[in-house]
Structure 1
Amino acid sequence: MLANHISHLLLPLVSLLVSSVFAYPTSEAKGARTVAHFPKSTWIENIAVRANGKLLVTTLLPDAALYQVDPFHPHQKPVLVANFTSATASGAFGIAELSKDYFFVATSNWTNNETAQPNTVWKINMAKFDVAPHGKRHIEKVIDISDAGALINGVTALDKRAGTLLLGDSNQGCVYALDTVARSYKKVQDHASMKAVPDSALQIGINGIHVWNGALYFTNTDQTTLTKVAIAKDGTAAGPYELVATLHTIVDDLAIGQNGDAYITTGPTNSIELVQPDGSVRRIAGGNANSTLFAGTTAAQFGRIAGDRTVLYVTTNGGLAAGTFDDGGRVVAVQTR
């Protein structure tokens, strides 16, 4: 039912996206390689990278789960780390690390807008998982975000020393700060640049979020924009909201490079767009409507160990968002050097 719900929601966008798909040159990216290919009807939603180089990916379909992928041994099958479906979650969304091997995942029962507490944040202790991968002691519920809309989407570290996160509410168009130690949260930002477009098909405003160099960068799916704002230690705005770029295509998540370049995934546009600090935009990979390698790009993160720090790991939904085919979600390595 969830797959049908998503297809019904997104199929009206396909005709609107055709012009966007071919607005820029298309490229499958030289040297791009698949490091994990999940079964059909798997929607990979987000990604984080461990200090040891292994990847953690969340899934929206067929269930709310977290998997570990080893990019250096692509023949190995993804390993299930956590399944959140029993917690009435229909999908696992953003993920961020606060201290070494302590990751936080947001789940949502986003198909039921009337659910009282659809959003939950979980703590995953990967050190415990490494020792006892078949148990559940590495999974701990942190808190329900009961004031949020139907979809807490993006997650990013705010202050690692203080144990705080920022959470993007895609439906209400705002940001919450979560203190994972005190297990409390509060709304810290609420701005027009975060809102969904009225009467849009998706009703998804703020999507990917990332704190970099004292500022919060965020994409807005409906507005097709990348925006940044300087932030204080508590996550509140400490300056004006600055439009970095309008991409004129669906935008999903983002990764920030060392020089401030933003790498934007575009969902059913099947591409990765590079936005430089001056606001210029160019396509670096994908853009082919029939692409399988980049079918439905959803999120991206850079590698963390020697030899792959210039490798951008990109997740896909396998084409489910566009509704044109079902290839199964992938994790793709793209060399950006």
Structure 2
Amino acid sequence: MASIFSLASLAICSLLSGALALPSHQARALSARSQNSSVDVNVLYSFGDGTWAENLAVRANGQILLSRLDTPEVLQLDPRGIRDPITIASWNASTYMGCLGISETTPDMFYVVTSGFVNDSFVLTSGVNSIWEIDMSTFAISNTTGQVLSNATVSKLVDVRTSDFLNGMTTLSNNTILVADAYNGWVYRVNTHTGAYSVAVNDTKMKFDSIPNPPTNLGVNGIKLHDEHLYWTNTAVGTLNRVRISSNGTRVGTSEVVVDNVPKADDFIFKNDNVAFIAQNQMDELSVLYPWANEAKVIAGSNISTTLAGVSAGKFGRLPSDSHILYLTTSGAEGLPINGTVTVPATLSWIDTSRF
């Protein structure tokens, strides 16, 4: 396993070094999008070179579960940064490429995607995409030493053999999750009691090839349920979209584009006042979308900076002390190196959203 360390024990992290030095003509070409950065980004944990933090979920006790895509692992991280990361679950790296979407259904019951191996076009080349259950109710650590006293209970729910590249996940009900297939451009409904799955939503706005010459083969990526709608990003098209859905996850009516100025959009999250924060992984940017706005605005990072290199997903804290804190996973720009060559260690970072 790549080395992992907590920034609580360090005075500074190399990721806080700011913008990369660029030739003057490239600096002059910096877009207005990047110039809008205005939020301090704080690194809580940093991981070794070549790592990729993909997604996260927050437990009711405030502890953070993080999925890694560079290796098939789920870690637990302390929001105060006072403990080293704890490996909650790991799988054979010759069987699974890594982990992606993760979501909680009932208290401390989580589900996570383990991915088969895909090529650069995100076509499955070997293995199978699976969904696993992680029961954190059996997990315990010593409050004084941090030593693991009992492990989480991990079991396979189902192999999704008709899928190509499973990615985002959200919870529909106590016994149902929705999972995005970014390559095929549809969303599965999965019963967490039986493992039965089927395509629940298949929409043109989920397809990467709904535009000519798409820049990537990733279509529907992040998915969330909000105000009786299923929201999703389309990474290739650079949009946030939505459609009303029924209680069983099927669509009601036609879909619509919410905003179309979020290139390379990955996952996203809604604040309790309906403000949305959108991670744009391969743009190295985080954008905010107000409920009354018709476009999103970049508030942190840029595509010439390591500040939020490969920001991939976000979740809010669940304690009174950190409910305004947005925790962010980053891939270290492994998906698209900054300036064509620069990658950095992946991180769990955070921003204060009090003023949004």
Instruction: Please say if 1:22 is aligned against 2:31.
Output: yes
Equivalent residue for 1:330? 347
Work out whether 1:257 is the aligned partner of 2:248: no
Secondary structure of 2:321's aligned partner? coil
Q: Which residue of 2 aligns with 1:3?
A: none
Match of 2:161 in 1: 146
Distance 2:140 2:38 in 1: 34
> Which amino acid in structure 2 is aligned with residue 145 of structure 1?
V
Contact residue 117 and residue 145 of structure 1 kept, 8 A: no
Q: Paired residue for 1:106, among 88, 108, 113? A: 113
Q: Which residue in the other structure is 2:43 paired with?
A: 34
**TM-score, normalised relative to structure 2:** 0.82
Change (3 A) 1:204 1:134: farther
1:176 aligns to 2:188 (yes or no): yes
**CA-CA distance at 1:20 after TM superposition:** 9.8
CA distance in 2, matches of 1:288, 1:322: 10
- Equivalence map 1:79-228=2 (5 Å): 79-86=86-93, 88-111=95-118, 113=123, 118-130=128-140, 133=148, 138-149=153-164, 151-160=165-174, 163-197=175-209, 199-228=213-242
Quick one: which of 225, 229, 247 aligns to 2:261?
247
Q: Taking every aligned residue pair, what percent have the same amino acid on both sides?
A: 30
Count residues with an aligned counterpart.
Answer: 315
Are the counterparts in 1 of residues 138 and 151 from structure 2 also a CA contact under 8 Å?
Answer: no
2:116–2:126: 8 Å Cα contact kept in structure 1?
A: no
Are the counterparts in 2 of residues 267 and 297 from structure 1 also a CA contact under 8 Å? yes
Q: Is the 8 A contact 2:326 2:351 kept in 1?
A: yes
Q: Which residue of 2 aligns with 1:7?
A: none
The 8 Å contact of residues 206 and 234 in structure 2, kept in 1 or not, is answered as yes
1:51 aligns with 2:60: yes
Structure 2 Cα separation of the partners of residues 134 and 327 of structure 1? 34
* Larger CA deviation: 184-193 vs 77-86: 77-86
Contact 1:36 1:331 in 2 (8 A): yes
Partners of 2:296 and 2:152 lie apart in 1 by 44
Deviation at 1:18, TM superposition (A): 9.8
Give the conservation status (yes or no) of the 8 Å contact 2:117–2:127.
Answer: no
Structure-2 separation of matches of 1:229 and 1:18: 39
C-alpha change, 1:26 and 1:138, in structure 2 (3 Å) is farther
Instruction: Give the corresponding residue for 2:17.
Output: none
How many angstroms apart in 2 are the aligned matches of 1:158 and 1:82?
24
Q: CA deviation at 1:280?
A: 2.6
Counterpart-to-counterpart distance in 1, 2:321 and 2:312: 24
Pair 1:21–1:189, CA change in 2 (3 A): farther
Q: Deviations over 1:26-78 (max 9, x none)?
A: 466544311111111110010111101111110111x1111111011x14221
Partner SS, residue 127 of structure 1: helix
Q: Does 1:316 align with 2:333?
A: no
Q: Gaps spanning 5+ residues in structure 1: where? A: 1-16
2:72 is matched with 64
Distance 1:114 1:165, change over 3 A: closer
CA RMSD of aligned residues (A): 2.3
Alignment partner of 2:243 out of 208, 217, 229: 229
CA distance in 1, matches of 2:85, 2:189: 31
Residue 6 of structure 1 is matched in structure 2 by none
Unaligned runs of 5+ in 2: 1-25, 142-146
